[in-house]
Structure 1
Amino acid sequence: MGESKRKKEAKESEKLIFEKENYKFMIIGLAVIAVGFILMAGGGSDDPNVFNPDIFSWRRIRLAPTVILIGFAIEVYAILLKPKSAK
């Protein structure tokens, strides 16, 4: 009888902090952040003496940081999302 009680306690202690839905939103948030960094990449010049104005394009200055911030907001939501078992 004591053995089954220990197994039950061990099973409860192995419970993860987050549930499947939390991890789903975390992966989505990481993908959005990665897309933001990909949008920010490029625009450099192979020759350091030549200036390339593409580095100041709308995509790199406005769109990419906004996408990254949206990704971080999704990550915060994923962390703060209550598990269904705790409701």
Structure 2
Amino acid sequence: MSKKSRKYRKNNLTETPVKAKPPKETQHIPEFIFGRKNYLFMLIGIGVIALGFIFMAGGGSDDPNVFNPEIYSFRRIRLAPTLVLIGFGIEVYAILLNPDK
């Protein structure tokens, strides 16, 4: 085969240069900022925060003239805010966690 036949391809009437195909690019897989372990701890932290807010809910009265002492229960005053703070602590830990170790 001659050099000319390698570089050119014959059409019906004219010869046109053969364009070289660009090399196939490898598929780019996006890298996440955090690892799987980080995201797992983040989900746990969000769950603990949500549980704290659920514990804070309620305790009101249907009648505004009647006082309900349930609003000052241990669950709403001590437990729920503590759970929310623990959840935020878990979130900070999840962000600072090195997933490679």
Work out the number of aligned pairs and report it.
80
Which of residues 54, 72, 76 in structure 2 aligns to 1:38?
54
Larger CA Rg, structure 1 vs 2 = 2
Measured in 2, the distance between the counterparts of 1:64 and 1:56 equals 12
Measured in 1, the distance between the counterparts of 2:34 and 2:23 equals 28
TM-score (norm 2): 0.70
Give the secondary-structure state (helix, strand or coil) at the position aligned to 2:79.
helix
* 5+ residue gaps, structure 1: none
- Greater strand content: 2
Confirm whether residue 62 of structure 1 aligns to residue 78 of structure 2. Answer: yes
Indicate the percent of aligned positions where both proteins have the same amino acid: 65
Q: Which has the higher contact order (CA 8 A, sep 6+)?
A: 1
**C-alpha RMSD of matched pairs (Å):** 1.8
Structure 1: 4+ residue segments shifted above 2 A: none
Which amino acid counterpart does residue 27 of structure 1 have in structure 2? L
TM-score (norm 1): 0.81
Aligned to 1:17: 33
